[in-house]
Chain A
Amino acid sequence: MAIIEEPLALETGSPGTVDQPLGMLTRPKGGNGWRDWVSTVDHKKIGIMYGVAAMFFFVVGGIEALLIRVQLAVPDGQVLSAGLYNQLFTMHGVTMVFLFIMPLAAAFANYLIPLQIGARDVAFPRLNALSFWIWISGAVFVNSSWFLGGGADCGWFCYSPNSGVTFSPGNGVDFYVFGLLIAGIASMVSSINLIVTVLNMRAPGMHLFRMPVLTWMLLVTQFLLVFALPVITVALFLLMFDRLFDSQFFNPEAGADPLLWQNLFWIFGHPEVYIIILPSFGIISEIIPTFSRKPIFGYSFMVFSGIAIGFMGWGVWAHHMFVSGIGPMSVAAFSLSTMFIAVPTGVKILNWLATMWGGKLRFSTAMLFAVGSIAMFTIGGVSGVTHALAPADTQQTDTYYIVAHFHYVIFGGGVLGLMGGAYFWWPKIFGHMLDETWGKVHFWVMLIGMNLTFGPMHVLGLQGMSRRIDTYAAGFGFEAWNMVATIGSFVIAFAVLIFFVNVYRSYKAAPSLPAPGPDPWDARSLEWMVPSPTPEHNFDEIPVVESEDEWWHRKYGYDEDNRVVRIATIEEAAQDGSAVGVHLPAPSFWPLVVAVGMPLIAYGLMFTLWLTVVGGALTAFGLYSWALEPVDDPDADHGHGDGHHGDGDDDHDDGGDTDEPTMAGVTAGDDAGGE
């Protein structure tokens, strides 16, 4: 389609002709209203939207969790029916994993990758917008199930044959299938985009081994996504065909093997858990050096262990199937491979400690979260190792001991780390700090809350409490710890509220406080050399990178005794964001239009086919108009300058084609159409 785009794009030299290709939507102009947000292709705005949406779904998933906890507070809980409970824990898992923590990581990836590698935007800005809109339409789609007959009730891993029509006749599972397919397309597009960005858009001198560890971890994450998503896509398609078109993939009576689903799901699912944790590892690796006043210890080991984790993550999936009846040899092999994943992970933990060793630790909120995350992750990590022993896992699997494990790694390792990231980059993103006192209260309440909630689950699990049970009988010794866990979950909720209050208060207080400046933490990577909040064009001038921790080295040097001395103040070294005439990619409505069609297609397949036609038409129309829309928009007023930046292409799954060379690095005023 871009083939058609290209010549038209050439014609745009004559203004007005193709500006409104089909006369339907006016080409969006730069501005600050809602139009600007829905049509933006700016990686920073997209990042912020990911973040906000993710936090919204955190509350949704959290409320689901609270309902679960309320039901389980006492034996024979009567708050929820079994059916509703099953929907709640399924939707809790799905929401938290696919609609909260992955997009929150995507928020950081979108916002920070271009900044950390010294680029103006991602490789394909419009595709980036497309990813976001597809993801959000998938997210809304999944949650619309609550109003259309109930959510999926098959658990987040939705094992067949329970997920088939015979056993799950409602539409819940269809929502799961289509929702994950849609969200999967989004992640797929975005991960390809980010991989290309990292590989191709780095500032001069930004060798791969000078990239910040965060960028590295995000890169590994994107590779995991790009290779793992097709696998669950296959699984979801097979399930969809079974449910909608009576195929026989998961029908045991026809000789199908339910373990096929399990294999496909976990081949995706295990890399998925590293997709969850690696961004957080990256964030921690940025925060700890900054607040230790030391470079990260063993940079190359950090990078390679991240790669190793990503790589080994592909060879362990069947540890989720130790009791499923795969043969003893398979179990033994996977048991061993799982154990050794502790090695690269341990390297990371120990390197963080070594970074702190001899450092000057300043416990800002971000640092507290980072350090807390290390400790909590380790708890989850070592309980993970105890599951890796297949015989021991036959006792542990599907009990609350597992629930404890994964909430410690996900909440303790993942969420705490991401929260730390929020405190750390908040000034960069919004131009004001979050209040530190409130932040610290937030941290401690959250830490206590999570230990109260998930700590007891270890005990419950070992005492034999099964997962995914909507009630339990009195007399097994489960009562006390369940009550504690429930109380703990409300403590977490309280902590989350503190965070929101902090966000609000800090926003209100910001005007009366001194501006944080480009680099409030005396940090190390490139994003801190641009003003806060980041100007639309990121860098006035693309920096030429000479070392790892480039920004820090622009501030500090060594004297003859090899002691660190300041060579420039932040103000001297930083850019002031005053560049004009920088070409930025032009905004577009079409990604949104394309995305909106997708859930309609799915609704149609579930309810009435004509909706599919409408959705398909809308998506096709969006794609077509997208192709016709010139990449560049010579007329638009782009504030700082006008956009000129090859957008990649339009169509995610035919692999697309464009001929636009990407010119993200085009610096101020080197092309026509500027101000």
Chain B
Amino acid sequence: MSDPVTKPRRRVPRLGFVLLLGLVLAGCASDAELDTLQPRSGVADEIYDLALPVFIIAGVVLTLVCGAVLYLGIKNRVATYEGDDEFPEQISHNNSLEIAWTIAPAIVMAVIAVLTLQTHFSINSTEANAMTIEVAGETVEWEPTIVVVGQQWWWEFRYYLDGTQITADDLENPWDLPPADIVTSGQLAIPTGEEVELIVTSRDVIHSFWIPQLNGKRDAVPGRFSPWKIEADDPGVYFGQCTEFCGLSHSRMRMQTIAMTPSDFQDWIDMQMAPASFDDELQPYVDAFRAGEPATVPDDASAALRGLDVFAGQCASCHLVNGFNDLTYDGAETVSGSAPNLTNLMSNTTFAGGILNLYNPDGSFNRDDLARWIRDPAAVKDNRADDLPDGEMPRGMPDRNLTERQIDDVIAFLETLGSSPGDEIILATEVE
């Protein structure tokens, strides 16, 4: 018999594992805003507390198995069978041993199972926790519930504040949701210390809503309204990313949750709910538009007014600005039937699915990126919105082929929509 194994040599089989250990230990980077190992809320803590011991059990099992492999590999190793007619004892089975190591893992798993069930039902339960807020001067009891709607490739958040608790049962059709008091995009504002219920759905494909430091994820499935919850212990900004593959720009579908103290949250509500105010120059145009008799805008009008005109012609078919086109608005001309509501655009700090900053770190308005976006959205974020075959609805925002001047104008108009949330938030929400 020929023996092919002729040159036995000592090896360093540990290398792989040493490396691996190093990798795991180095796990926690400091600026890791998406880190699942840095929970910042009760729910996330619970998940973490469940996962941690299981990571340890896994590590122990792993060490035992790999340790045994190494031990046996070193101890029982022979260089060759050449000339060796001595066979080891031919043990073929040992039933009690087999039963033992069938039962042992089963017991371990049973323990883990109990812990899992506890956590599972705990994080899937909700508590009744109405909070008092003021809406348009009236005090209402509000059980924090926010409808979260995914679409290609941004998130919409809908607040129903009138005190009547909205539940999944009230919602039938994600394409035709009841009008909400506040509609925002990309940034979810919540009060701290409150358990906020989320009702997650989608208008086109499946997305997944995930703010790692606050809770695990929940898929946004079109046609389904899935309950989920979120809470934050401390004020702050928590980053998220859509995690269900949703087509072309899935990677650029991000979001943030901004947790504020209840009083700050009240201020935020007030800011969002403030009736649209157009300045004296814009108001007549708005009135005419709403009356169905669009006015013409002279060339020497202010940039904002010219921008409003551009907006009416180029953007209003998709974007809603409360107080301006809400009478004529009939859903966006997109596959999802929706585009971000721009009523309070400037109160956001990021836009376009959380990938661009609306403000510079110094608090000044980031005109450049907004212009870049309007000039050619697809260059910033891949989409399918331009040069479509007949009948195909755009996915994402199309390039409206505006001139540079029109872009400047429309930005001037957009700048009038809502007000800046303040430097602190601008700094905390800074992306990229």
Contact = CB atoms under 8 A, between A and B. Distances in A.
Q: Does chain A touch chain B in the assembled complex, meaning CB atoms less than 8 Å apart?
A: yes
A474 B34 CA distance: 12
Contacts, number: 359
Contacts of A351: 98
A602 interface: no
A362 interface: yes
B216 interface: yes
Nearest to B431: A473
Nearest to A563: B87
Interface stretch (B59-67, B137-145, B156-164, B258-266): B59-67
A293 B35 contact: no
30 contacts: A83-B248, A86-B248, A155-B245, A167-B152, A169-B389, A253-B175, A255-B223, A293-B88, A296-B92, A298-B98, A323-B217, A323-B218, A332-B121, A336-B113, A347-B102, A358-B91, A386-B55, A391-B120, A392-B54, A398-B217, A436-B5, A451-B20, A463-B27, A463-B29, A464-B33, A466-B241, A467-B245, A476-B33, A516-B2, A517-B1
Contacts of A476: 29, 31-34, 239
A301 interface: yes
Interface of B: 1-8, 11, 15-16, 19-20, 23-24, 26-37, 44, 46-47, 50-51, 54-55, 58-59, 61-62, 65-66, 68-69, 72-73, 76-81, 84-85, 87-95, 97-98, 101-102, 105-106, 109, 112-113, 115-117, 119-121, 123-124, 152, 175, 200, 204-206, 208, 212, 215-219, 221-224, 226, 239, 241-252, 335, 355, 382, 389, 392-393, 395, 431-432
A419 to B, nearest CB: 16
- Identify the interface centre among A155, A339, A340: most chain B CB within 10 Å of its CB: A339
A477 B32 contact: yes
B243 A463 contact: no
A520 B4 contact: yes
Contacts of A458: 23-24
B26 A459 contact: yes
A343 B68 contact: no
Contact of B212 (A258, A342, A395, A470): A395
B112 A464 contact: no
Interface stretch (A207-215, A218-226, A372-380): A372-380
A382 B19 CA distance: 18
A154 B393 CA distance: 19
A168 B116 CA distance: 38
A301 B34 contact: no
A520 B78 CA distance: 17
Interface stretch (A15-23, A129-137, A158-166, A603-611): A158-166
Contacts of B33: 464, 475-476
Interface string A329-362: 0011001100110111011011101101111111
Given A379-B62, A469-B251, A477 B31 contact: yes
Interface of A: 81-83, 86, 153-155, 159, 161-162, 166-169, 252-253, 255-259, 292-301, 323-325, 328, 331-332, 335-336, 339-340, 342-344, 346-347, 349-351, 353-354, 356-364, 371, 374-375, 378-379, 382-383, 385-386, 389-399, 433, 436-437, 444, 447-448, 451-452, 455-456, 458-459, 462-477, 481, 484, 514, 516-517, 519-520, 522, 556, 563-566, 569-570
A391 B123 contact: yes
Given A323-B219, A394-B47, A361 B72 contact: yes
Shortest 3 CB-CB contacts between residues of A and residues of B: A394-B216, A464-B34, A477-B29
Given A382-B58, A451-B20, A516-B4, A395 B34 contact: no
Given A353-B72, A463-B35, A83 B382 contact: yes
A296 B85 CA distance: 19
B93 A393 contact: no
A358 B31 contact: no
A82 B69 contact: no
A462 B389 CA distance: 42
A475 B33 CA distance: 8
Given A297-B94, A433-B4, A462-B37, 6 more contacts: A86-B250, A162-B205, A357-B72, A389-B116, A394-B217, A476-B32
Contacts of A395: 36, 44, 47, 51, 212, 216-217
Nearest to A155: B245
A439 B112 CA distance: 41
Nearest to A474: B432
- Identify the interface centre among A259, A350, A399, A437: most chain B CB within 10 Å of its CB: A350
A390 B117 CA distance: 9
